[in-house]
Chain A
């Protein structure tokens, strides 16, 4: 474990954690966590939800929020905890 970050008065730590296990007789967690987001993003382009041309990076709410919702439906979700 690394040394905890020094906190100033009034500050809190929030962690956002993803934990994914592969299935012994199915897909690996590595394959799912790489492939499913790509598949969803591709579907969003096909549906016209993502219609901006060019190379897009997932750094804005417009791109990330719908993607994250669909990922959660697929069982890939972050869990937030306040420490």
Chain B
């Protein structure tokens, strides 16, 4: 299953495509960025979502609070 995932990713990025290769900036990093800009552009009405969550385990005693951050999660997705 992992192999299928990797191969689909390589296909998505165009590694097996017949489209002409578009170099940018004379280096591979800029060329990859150019490719990603095309592939990952927003379609009409698309928007993104950013979510961040901290989770605290809290112990209350005599009005005082002990707060310990146990986890922070952040993710971003295209909707």
Contact = CB atoms under 8 A, between A and B. Distances in A.
Contact of B56 (A14, A19, A24): A14
Contacts of B52: 17-18, 78
B51 A5 contact: no
Interface in B12-60: 42, 44-60
Secondary structure at chain B's binding surface: helix, strand, loop or mixed? strand
A30 to B, nearest CB: 5
B37 to A, nearest CB: 14
A46 interface: no
Interface of B: 42, 44-61, 67, 70, 76, 79
Interface of A: 5, 7-8, 10-24, 28-30, 33, 78
